[in-house]
Every structure is written in structure tokens, then in C-alpha cells.
Amino acid sequence: MKIDSTQLKFILENTPAAQNIMLVGRHGIGKSRILEDFFAARGEKVVTLFLGQMSDPGDLIGLPHLDEATGRTEFMLPYWFPTDGKPVVLFLDELNRARPEVLQTVMDLTLNRKLAGKSLPEGSRIISAVNGGSEYQLTDLDPALVSRFNIYEFAPSVEDWINWARDAGLDSRIISFIEENPELLDGDESTVGENLERSPDRRSWERLSKVIGKFEELGDEMQAMASGIVGDRAAADFFRFVNNHRVPSVKDLLSVNDLPSFVEALSFTDFTQLNEAIFRWLEAQSATASDFNAANLVSYFDYLGDNNKKELQAHFASLVSAERYPAALNFILKKAPELYKKLLDLSDEL
């Protein structure tokens, strides 16, 4: 059965720790991220082991050594093994890329919660992830091992990703683009061949967001760079989208006399992009922005609230971050304290 992010969280919440979970899905869809975020919120430690990178069982169970007191060989605990008695969530990633000899070690771990005779703390969980599809180089899993897992095909929806992207502060131009072109969120895995043609996935859109976030304008050089991140086709479509949704100049916005006429023709997508463009511009230009009318920032924020654009006003407020835009925040505090107070009042309402 295919499950989305909401269903996965319900399963994680209600599956007993003694039962193992296996998530089947393509790479780059957020399997490890959602697990780490979910259990971190519960105060539980997640230990991720990439089994496909292990060349020997010793990478998983530790190395043998002689106990001189007993004259017996024992295994030194691996670096990740919990020694404080607190349960952990052991995430076995790339399970079906592991060598057969490594999988034999996993058998005892999944059944008895033991590794080389050492038991995991009571309450520890084991969750695995496997890639499905003919495009991957995979190891056939023993049916006896598979039978020890509750198996779910994880297929998070586009809406799942968009909600996450907004919360994570990804560039609004990318979010708007995916909303209109959902088929390009994950791309087409079959296009990756001998020539290593790039196809987009959720991780690559996040990487692109980090690259373009500081640029108000995206030129040809940036498109060439984006092609190596999300692929030629997706990059071309994205830049065509951005060019067709050009927002007004932030510099003009901060100096215009008739602000309503300046922005009244903008679409919802245009407004979200303008919100982020304002903060990117302030971050880059705040030191020399004293010549511009900071009161227009207040007027713009009020305009959003007075024209049934509360969602856009909340989006604007969400961008006020000392981590993301420290210089822009400092500019608002010094040059537009009235706006900062309005932002605080709005945050209290939300």
C-alpha cells in the first residue's frame, strides 16, 4: 500500500517498538528526513547506517579483540552502539544494497535486537529503507528477513513537499514553480543513463533553493548552474516560469508614491516572489538603503492585510529571521520599527 507523509507519521506513532518497519521508495523523496524530524520532536535519537556502503560485517558489529581476562574473543562495540541505556531508532538505509554477509548480521538484529551478543536498549526501534525499481543495482533480500518487517511503499504527495518547503523556507520561486508543474518535482528516473543526464528530485530542488536564494535576478549563468542541479529540461522550464512571472523592482517599490497602483495587478504567485525579493534585496543592500522610503515597507505590509491577502501577509512575516536574513531584520529594526511592531502583533494572532 502506498502511504504519504501524514500516514507515515501515524504509522510511526502507533507501531510498537518491537515491530520493524520497511519503507520502499525511490531516492530523494525524504525518507530519512521525515524519520529524523519525527523522532527528534519526540526526543529520540536516530542512528542512520548506510548498509550499502559497508564492505564487511565488521563495519556493522565492530571488530573482534581478545579479552585477556577470559581468554575469549569479543567484539568491540561500534561507534554508534548506545552505551547510556537509552533506546534508539536504528535506521538501516539502503538495505537492499547491502552485501549478503552484512544482511546475515541484520537478521539477528531485526529478530532479537542483538548485535554480536549485545542487546539494544529496551524500546529501541528498527526501521529500514529500500530503493525500488529496475534502475537501481540491488541485492535480493532473503524472504525470512523481509518477513520481519511491516512493509509500506512511501510515496509522499506533492502537497506534502510544498508544505514542508514552505516551513523550511525554500525559495518561493521554486515552490510556485512546483505548484504549477508538479510533474517536475521528482522528474523521470528513466532519463538517467550512461551519459549521466540529470533528472530533478526533491533533494535537488532544495539544493537549487540554497543556490539562488540570495539572487533577486536570475541570469543565464545561473541557468547553466541550475542545469547541473535539476537537469536541462527542468532548469529551462523553471527559468522560463521565473521570467514570465517577473515581479516589480524592489528598489522601485521602496520609492514609488502610489503603491496600490504599483502592485494591484500582481498575482498570488507574484506576491510571494515579491515578498522574498524584498528580503533578498534588503539583505544585500541594507547598508546603502537609507535613501529609500522605508515607510513603503509598512504601507506594503498594510496593503496585504487590507486587501484580503492575510496569507501573503503571514508569508511576509515568516521571512523575518535573524538566521536567514540578519541584515534585512536589522534594517527593519532600525529604519522601520513600526513594521517590526506590526510583525510581532501578527505573530501573536497566528
User: Residues 81-110: pLDDT tens digits?
Assistant: 888 889 999 998 888 888 888 888 888 888
Supply the pLDDT for residue 159.
86
Supply the pLDDT for residue 205.
94
Contact 329, 343 (CB under 8 A): no
CB burial readout 310-323, b (16+ within 10 A) else e: eebbebbbbbbeee
Q: How many CA atoms lie within 13 A of 180 on its CB side?
A: 15
Q: Take residue 279 and report the three cell numbers written for it.
A: 528580503
Supply the pLDDT for residue 281.
83
Give CA–CA dist 298/302, Å, rounded.
Answer: 6
Give CA–CA dist 343/349, Å, rounded.
Answer: 10
Give CA–CA dist 327/334, Å, rounded.
Answer: 11
Supply the pLDDT for residue 193.
46
Other beta carbons within 10 Å of 86: 13
| Ranges of residues in the chain whose predicted pLDDT is under 70 | 132-140, 188-197, 286-292, 350
Supply the pLDDT for residue 238.
93
210-to-174, 177, 226, 239, 312 alpha-carbon distances in Å: 11, 16, 11, 16, 22
Q: How many CA atoms lie within 13 A of 209 on its CB side?
A: 23
Supply the pLDDT for residue 335.
83
Supply the pLDDT for residue 135.
46
